[in-house]
Amino acid sequence: MSRRSLLMALLVSLLGSMASAAEPAIDRKAAEQFRTECAAKAAALSKTDSLTYVGKDGWLFLARELRHVGVGAFWGKNAAQASSASRPENADPLPTILDFKAQLDKAGIELILLPVPPKCLIYPDKVSGNVRAHDGRAPRLDAHHQEFYSLLGKHGVKVIDLVPELLAERAKNGPEVFCKQDVHWSGHACVLAARAIARRIGNPPWLEHLPKLELARETKVIEISGDLWKSLPEKQRPPKEKLALRFVGRKTDTGLAPVEPDRNSPVVLLADSHGLIFHLGGDMHAKGAGFPDQLAAELGVAVDRIATRGSGATPVRITLARRARKDRNYLAHKKLIIWCLAARDFTESFSGWRKVQLLPSPKPKAGGN
C-alpha cells in the first residue's frame, strides 16, 4: 500500500470513529412505542387498500414501510412471521446476505451493504404525534435495524448505516433527505450516500491507478410528480414538490452529458429503484442526478449498474449471476459491489431472500470420491 493510501485509510478510520461517537443513542421505550404505532397505522391502511399514509405538513409515507417498521425483529426465528415473502424458506435475509458475501469473498470482491432507511425513521415526527424533533433533530428509533446491522458486522459484512448522517443532515434545516411526496430518498441524500461510500473505501490501489473522469456539476430545481402523490385521489393531492438536484456529467456545447454505466467498471452497483431515481429519466423524474451519477462524481469512475424497479433483494443478484455465467470473465476484474436497497425489503419483498449461485459449482473430477 502506498503512503498516500495508508494515510487515506487512517483518515477514513478516524472519521468513522468520530461519527460513531456522535451517533445518538436509541430510546428503547420510545422506539417500541413508535413501532407499535406504525404497526397500528399499517393495519388500518390495509383495511382500506390505501398505499399511502398522509402525515403531517404534507409528508406522505408508504404503507408497506410502516408495516416493515411495525413488525420489529425480522431475522432468525422472527423471519417467517415478519416477512411478506411468498415462501417461508425465503423469509430470512440473514443467511442469504452471508451466503452472498461468502461467494464474493471467494471471488476476491468486496461487498458493501447500503440499506436506504425507511423515511418514517428519519421523519418520525411527521408520522406520530408522540414524537418530537428537538432543534430539528428527530430521535433515533431504529432499534431493530441497528441490532441487525450489528449482527451482520459480527459476521464480517460491511454495512453503511445512513441513519445517523441523515438525522444529522435533517437537523441542519437544509435540503430534505427524502422526497415529501415520493417513496425515494432525495437527490441530496444520493450525494451524501455517494460520499459515504467514498469515505468507506478510501483510495485503494485498484481505484488509485484508474484514469479519472473529468465531470462537471450543476444544480437545478425540478418539479416532480411523486409516486405517493400520484396514489392519492386527485382532489386530495397537494401542490407538487420541487427539489434541488446536483446533475453530474461531461460538459458539452448543449449542457451536461450524463455518465453512462460502464460494464467494464470494477465497481458494481446492485440496486432497487433507489439506483434509478433521478438517474434514468422518465417516471424516475430526472436523468444524470441519481446515485450512480453521484458515485461517478465522488469516485472518479463510472460504475456498472444492475438495478430494478422492484425488490432489490433477489432479482438483482439473479441478473448478476446471469451476467457472470454468460461471461466467465465478467467478475474477474470486479473489485467492489455496492448493494443498495430499501431497508423495508428485509420484510416487504414478495420474492423474498433466495440464495443465488453466482457461478456454477465446479464439476467433480472423474473418478473422484
- Domain residue spans in the chain? 25-348
pLDDT in tens, 89-122: 999 999 999 999 999 999 999 999 999 999 999 9
Is pLDDT of 171 > 60? yes
Is pLDDT of 16 > 60? no
- Can you tell me the distance from the alpha carbon of 309 to that of 271, in angstroms, rounded to the nearest whole number? 9
Look at residue 185 and give its three-state secondary structure.
strand
**Percent helix, strand and coil across the chain, each to the nearest 5:** 45, 15, 40
For residue 209, the one-letter residue type is H
Tell me which of 2 and 313 has the higher pLDDT. Answer: 313
Nearest of 58, 36, 59, 60 to residue 50 by alpha carbon? 60
What share of the chain in percent tops pLDDT 90? 88
C-alpha cell at 37: 404505532
Whether residue 267 contacts residue 200, with contact meaning beta carbons closer than 8 Å, is answered with no
Residue 334 Rama label (left phi>0; alpha psi -120 to 50; beta): beta
Bridge partners, residue 41, by sequence: none
- Can you tell me the distance from the alpha carbon of 110 to that of 335, in angstroms, rounded to the nearest whole number? 6
Where does the pLDDT of residue 6 fall: very low under 50, low under 70, confident under 90, or very high at 90 and above?
very low
Is pLDDT of 273 > 90? yes
Q: How many CB atoms lie within 10 A of CB 275?
A: 29
- Can you tell me the distance from the alpha carbon of 174 to that of 27, in angstroms, rounded to the nearest whole number? 26
pLDDT in tens, 48-92: 989 999 999 999 999 999 999 999 999 999 999 999 999 999 999
pTM: 0.92
Cα 187 to Cα 219, 272, 322: the distances in Å are 10, 16, 31
